[in-house]
Homo-oligomer: A and B are copies of this chain.
Amino acid sequence: MKLGLAQINTTVGDLSGNKAIILDAYNRLVEQGAELIIFPELVVCGYPPRDLLLKSRFANDVKQSLDSIAREISEVPALIGCIEIASSSQKGRPLYNAAAWCESGTILSYGRKCLLPNYDVFDEERYFEPATKPLVYQWKDKRIGITICEDIWTDEKVQTSKRYCHDPVELLSKEGLDLLINLSASPWHTHKEHSRQDLIEQVSHRLNCPVVYCNSVGGNDELIFDGDSFITHPSKGIIAQMPKFKQSLNTFDIETATRIATETECPENTLKHMHDALILGLRDYAQKSNFTKGIIGLSGGIDSAVVAAIATEALGADNIIGVAMPSAISSDHSISDAQALAQNLKIEFQNIPIKDPVGSIETHLAPSFKGLERDVTEENIQARLRGVLLMALSNKHNALLLTTGNKSEIAVGYCTLYGDMCGGLAVISDLPKMQVYALAKYINRDGIIIPQNTIDKAPSAELSPDQKDEDSLPPYPILDAILHHYIEEGLSRAEISDQGFDSDIVNFIIKKVDQNEYKRKQAAPGLKISPLAFGIGRRMPIVQKYIN
């Protein structure tokens, strides 16, 4: 049996555009000789549609789009991720997250998702009614189980397992399947490919049949879908695999395919994936919102350098503007490093000093500030004035302003709201500082792009004379470790201190994290590359007083 997998990149809500992509993929895969063609979850409307699902016409429009796609499907069947509208007499939520079996111009059957993720970035119980069991579809002489994404994430070792009271894989194991298909839109994070591969190999063993995993690719807001679709066979192992972070249309014969070599888990591959993920996420965010140009404030530091390098790969050097905005206290290297970076990247470079406008602002505030000491207020004025300049350039040149904050500084609030936090997309907001350094080295793997001095010098916001990050924060390796325990693992202060960290430092850091929730509330959306990013997957109260 020759299966065609359409690992495609759809846009949320773009029903006509998605239809064109789906039909083009279908026709190409038919030409490649596919006998059954598989698409990812919810491709007709893009994933995640979020509250578009609550609009009065949306589900009907998606259904109409699916109907018009189905009319173009020949006798080669296509299994297409879509919405199914429940009958109006039925209790519960009115929609299913479904897979439509389309064949000979019509929809022959729907498989419905059983397990609806409602954790992290997922809100599927907000919209959909769960099915009690997956569809088993008889096609020619084959019994095919049809599952959607989460339905197969029921292994005991998987973090989410305890959340569900039943197991669709268990139900399917009694069905004598010849093939299991899984349509997915599974947001990527680092290392996910390996746990996913292990999981699906387990499913293949439990069902004693091949499993086809067809995943979305592309960026939609914070989420990056990595593709990486594959087929696993109970005795042969992985017999087919598609590229990561790229659209791809491939045909595989599951009877004749043999075991292939798969990628090993190593730091170099992790960095490559992170790099490629950020490029895809940034490119799609820009292109899907009709920006061709990007603009970045260049401080001479590591964060803005990494963002500029990613942006240049994503949008092309001709489309990136780097802007240095030295103040009265900026170091010489802040300009020279920024300029060297721009030269290495071959991007436009502008230098707009801020001394005079900052002076003008301070003069006008002097009567209000009479008798009061200089403090963080004046530091913020510099950062915010830079925000005003960057946004003016963004407005005038219709260029997407990219923010450059990393996860460590956003966690502890070492960033100025309406200052360096200005921008439409936060490119590295899910990378702790040490990961930013690692990525910088990866970017320089074939030669210097990010100046060595940018990598070597001590990090500084340069908002007051001779300021260094480590004057007021612990060294980044320690900070990042504490933040990981607190934010991603949800550990308490005592539990973190028990891991060998100084309890005063732990208390200091955690207090900062909690106090700065209000800044993150107003942060730009950030590309998610970890299991728990700031953003839609982390929903903390802003005003709260829990201490532990």
A residues neighboring B (CB under 8 Å): 11-15, 17, 45-46, 48-52, 54-58, 61, 91-94, 118-119, 123, 125-126, 162-165, 220-221, 284-285, 288-289, 350, 352-354, 356-357, 359-361, 363-365, 368-369, 372, 375-377, 380-381, 384-385, 387-389, 391-393, 395-396, 417-418, 422, 424, 489-492, 495, 518, 521-525, 536, 538-548
Asked if A524 contacts B525 (CB within 8 A), the reply is: no
- A384/B375 in contact, CB under 8 A: no
Are A545 and B12 touching (Cβ within 8 A)?
yes
Q: Is the CB of A361 within 8 A of B392?
A: yes
A377 contacts B395, C-beta separation under 8 Å:
yes
Which 3 pairs between the two chains have the least Cβ-Cβ distance?
A13-B546, A14-B545, A13-B544
Which of A45, A61, A288, A539 has most chain B Cβ within 10 Å?
A539
Chain B residue contacts of A522, Cβ below 8 A: 522-524
- The answer for the CA separation of A359 and B490 in the assembled complex, in Å, is 49
Bound CA–CA A214/B488 (angstroms): 36
Evaluate contact between A525 and B544: CB separation under 8 angstroms.
no
- Give chain B nearest CB distance to A158 CB in angstroms: 14
User: Could you tell me the distance between the alpha carbons of A481 and B419 in the complex, rounded to whole angstroms?
Assistant: 36
* A491→B56 contact, CB < 8 A: yes
B385 touches A388 (CB 8 A): yes
A140 CA to B385 CA in the complex, in Å?
69
Cross-chain contact A392 with B418 (CB below 8 angstroms): no
Residues of B within 8 A of A51 (CB): 538-540
Q: Which residue of B has the minimal Cβ distance to A369?
A: B396
Residues B352 and A546 in contact, CB atoms below 8 Å apart = no
Bound-state CA distance A380–B361 (Å) is 17
Check B368–A357 contact: CB distance below 8 A.
no
Minimum CB–CB distance from A423 to chain B (whole Å) comes to: 9
Using known A-B contacts A357-B361, A387-B418, A391-B418, determine if residue A545 contacts B380 with beta carbons closer than 8 Å: no
* Closest-CB distance, A129 to chain B (whole angstroms): 8
Cβ-defined contact, A52 with B544, below 8 A: yes
A353 close to B357 (CB less than 8 A): no
- Partner of A285 from the list B11, B164, B375, B543 (CB cut-off 8 Å) is B543
Cβ B361 vs Cβ A389 within 8 A: yes
Contact between chains at B391 and A368 (CB < 8 Å):
no
Measured CB to CB, the closest approach of chain B to A189, in angstroms, equals 17
Q: Are A541 and B361 in contact (CB under 8 A)?
A: no
Q: Which residues of B contact A356 (CB under 8 A)?
A: 360, 363-364
Given contacts A52-B544, A94-B162, A368-B396, 5 further A-B contacts (CB under 8 A): A12-B544, A55-B548, A288-B545, A350-B368, A361-B385
Q: Which residue of B lies closest to A359 (CB)?
A: B360
Most chain-B Cβ atoms within 10 A of its Cβ — which of A123, A422, A548? A548
Q: How far is the CB of A394 from chain B (nearest CB, A)?
A: 9
CA–CA, A543 and B220, complex, Å: 7
B50 to A541, Cβ gap below 8 A? yes
Query: Known contacts being A360-B360, A524-B521, is A91 close to B55, with CB within 8 Å?
Result: no
Residues of B near A369 (CB, < 8 A) are: 396
